[in-house]
Amino acid sequence: MPIQFIYTTFVSTEAYMLNQSLQQKLLQKLSPQQIQLMKLLQLPTQALEERIKEEMEENPALEEGSDKEGSEADELYENSADEDTSQDPLDDFDPDPYLSDDEIPDYRLQANNYSADDDEKSVPITGGITFLDTLREQLALRNLSEHDLLIADYLLGNIDEDGYLRRALDDILDDLAFSQGVMTTKEKLEELLGVIQDFEPAGVGARDLQECLLLQLKKRHRTTEVKHAEELLSNHYEEFIKKHYHKLTDKTGWNQEQLKEAIDEVQKLNPKPGSSEGSASKAGQAVTPDYLVSIVDGELELRLNGRNAPELKISREYKNMLQHYKDSSGKASKSEKDALLFVKRKIDAAKWFIDAIVQRQNTLMLTMSAILDKQKDYFLSGDEKDLKPMILKDIADEIGMDISTISRVASNKFVQTPYGTYLVKTFFSEAMTNSDGEEVSTREIKKILEESIEEERKKKPLTDEALAKLLKEKGYPIARRTVAKYREQLGIPVARLRKEL
């Protein structure tokens, strides 16, 4: 029988004595109004319009338009939620701050160059049928049995937006059997896929790029160049995509001119047949700039898009209810007090929202003004090489705000300049030191790298090592790995793939 050991722990009663101490803690807590402002800051113009509509639907005390009889005071009444719930919240309620017409807020006096008469309420979109719909219309014109139509339609549903069937036929065969209850064979799938590959646009239903290009060539006029292009893709695809031109001329027996004509024929083809067809039918949303920058007499002029400065007011009907309560000397039944408490809370919420909109406008203008001051040379010239290194902390320190606030302001915001419309975040970049010891923007280096690649001899493109050496000669000593990273960010392929005949 095993021996059991019993341990007894003796704890002094002093350990359980209650100790009282006085501590001071400093806590930072965001108010509901601050949270609301933070959420509004990160909204672009179109999203802000939707948010205002949503708020107006939820809060009947908030209305759009200016109040001709007067506007509400800027000073917000203390939130009723902070009051003692043990007493009637309307006992000490003073309706005067809600009815004051003495002051006109600053935002009422600002010209926004945006007339309500010219307001386009609908978001500009392009309508039309989808890419899948166009394929199904063509399928309906084919003389197929109901069983084959069902299978072909399932195949169409597996074609992606680029026009490719990237799923294996074996997987589709299993899906049809187990999820759709449709029995068929792989040979039937191949047959019906051949029907789909005859649809427009040419190349649809291909399983890889090689098949896609060959399908398009089959529908072209049978010229010598097209036949050479077919041979190039069918028999020498690996050498073609790797641009091993010397191997191609040796294997095909063509001269350089014939090879170039065949390659030109391939380059006329569309590698993504579905995207070109679907681009017109997809709903596209127009970009609405949040800022408007113009040059007037050699100086920069910054304006907010008028839609960022909507005219909002407190409902006159709700204010009349408070006036009625004031005139009745505060004598009201319990049901009337409940109604008035509801009105008070809705007016508070409306005032908070209006105040948050005004603060949003001020923060947007303050932030973008600091960006304009920092990047004045660029906004005057439009040359990316004039961009100075700038990070979020630089602007935050300049205007005395937190980095997170600057990030929200710059996020998803567009600025319209004389040289085009850009995301605000594109003007931020890290700094690097050139050979003269000066700090330059990485955007400037990328621009010079891009120009250097455009000027290179396409028959013998510059390698990353050669580009690094060239940039060093121009005063930008960066490593080969950095050149490769910037080149990839610019979407430029390696030297071998940039080679041309």
Mean pLDDT of 453-475: 86
Give residue 82's pLDDT. 42
- How many angstroms separate the CA atoms of 270 and 92, rounded? 74
Report angle CA 431, 435, 437 to the nearest 5 degrees: 60
Give residue 116's pLDDT. 43
Please state, for a pLDDT cut of 70, what percent of the chain lies above it. Answer: 75
pLDDT at 79 over 50: no
Please tell me which residue, 471 or 329, carries the higher pLDDT value: 471
What digits encode the pLDDT tens for the residues 263-305? 889 888 898 888 765 544 444 456 788 889 999 888 899 988 8
Grade residue 118 by pLDDT with cuts at 50, 70 and 90.
Answer: very low
77 and 97 Cβ atoms separated by less than 8 Å = yes
457 and 500 Cβ atoms separated by less than 8 Å = no
Strands 291-296 and 299-304: antiparallel
Mean pLDDT of 22-27: 68
55 and 302 Cβ atoms separated by less than 8 Å = no
Domain assignments of the chain as residue spans, ordered by start: 32-76+93-109+283-428, 131-278, 431-498
What digits encode the pLDDT tens for the residues 188-247? 999 999 999 999 989 999 999 999 999 999 988 888 988 998 999 999 988 888 888 888
Burial label, 489 (beta-carbon count in 10 A; 0-12, 13-18, 19+) = exposed
- How many angstroms separate the CA atoms of 150 and 180, rounded? 10
* Class of domain 431-498 (CATH, top level): mainly alpha
Mean pLDDT of 446-450: 86
Please state, for a pLDDT cut of 90, what percent of the chain lies above it. Answer: 14
Please tell me which residue, 468 or 320, carries the higher pLDDT value: 468
Give residue 187's pLDDT. 92
Please tell me which residue, 318 or 223, carries the higher pLDDT value: 223
State both tokens at 192. Answer: 């019906």
For the chain, give the mean pLDDT: 78
Sign, CA dihedral 34-35-36-38, equals positive
pLDDT at 81 over 50: no
What digits encode the pLDDT tens for the residues 416-425? 998 888 888 8
The Cβ of residue 163 has, within 10 Å, a number of other Cβ atoms equal to 25
The label of the residue with tokens 């170039």 reads 260
pLDDT at 72 over 80: no
Helix (H), strand (E) at residue 486 = helix 480-489
- How many angstroms separate the CA atoms of 133 and 117, rounded? 38
The Cβ of residue 80 has, within 10 Å, a number of other Cβ atoms equal to 14
Taking CA atoms, 322 is separated from 197, 327, 344, 479, in Å, by 71, 9, 8, 71
* Residues of the chain by 3-state class (helix, strand, coil), percent to 5: 50, 10, 40
Mean pLDDT of 339-366: 84
Mark 211-236 as b/e (b = at least 16 C-beta within 10 Å). Answer: bbbbbbbeeeeeeebbebbbebbeeb
Phi, psi of 449 (to 5 degrees): -65, -45
Helix (H, G, I), strand (E, B) or coil at 80: helix
Amino acid at 122: S
Give residue 309's pLDDT. 66
Phi, psi of 262 (to 5 degrees): -65, -40
- How many angstroms separate the CA atoms of 57 and 353, rounded? 13
Give residue 31's pLDDT. 66
Give residue 329's pLDDT. 58
| Highest mean predicted confidence (pLDDT) among 8-12, 361-365, 432-436 | 361-365
pLDDT at 361 over 80: yes
8-state DSSP, 164 = B
Mark 40-65 as b/e (b = at least 16 C-beta within 10 Å). Answer: bbbbbbbebbeebeebbeebebbbee
The label of the residue with tokens 């039309």 reads 128
Mean pLDDT of 82-109: 48
Give residue 4's pLDDT. 52
Please tell me which residue, 33 or 306, carries the higher pLDDT value: 306
What residues contact 436, with CB distance under 8 A and at least 6 apart? 475
Phi, psi of 292 (to 5 degrees): -125, 115
Please tell me which residue, 125 or 491, carries the higher pLDDT value: 491
Give residue 26's pLDDT. 63
The label of the residue with tokens 């975040």 reads 425
Grade residue 109 by pLDDT with cuts at 50, 70 and 90.
Answer: very low
State both tokens at 113. Answer: 């160059």
* Residue whose C-alpha is closest to residue 91's, from 343, 335, 331: 331
pLDDT at 159 over 50: yes
Please tell me which residue, 113 or 155, carries the higher pLDDT value: 155
pLDDT at 338 over 60: yes
What residues contact 138, with CB distance under 8 A and at least 6 apart? 199, 200
What digits encode the pLDDT tens for the residues 365-409? 999 999 999 999 889 888 887 888 888 888 999 999 888 888 888
Give residue 29's pLDDT. 57
- How many angstroms separate the CA atoms of 16 and 38, rounded? 46
Give residue 369's pLDDT. 92
State both tokens at 257. Answer: 């001119």
Please tell me which residue, 99 or 484, carries the higher pLDDT value: 484
What residues contact 209, with CB distance under 8 A and at least 6 apart? 271
State both tokens at 86. Answer: 């043990």
Helix (H, G, I), strand (E, B) or coil at 312: strand
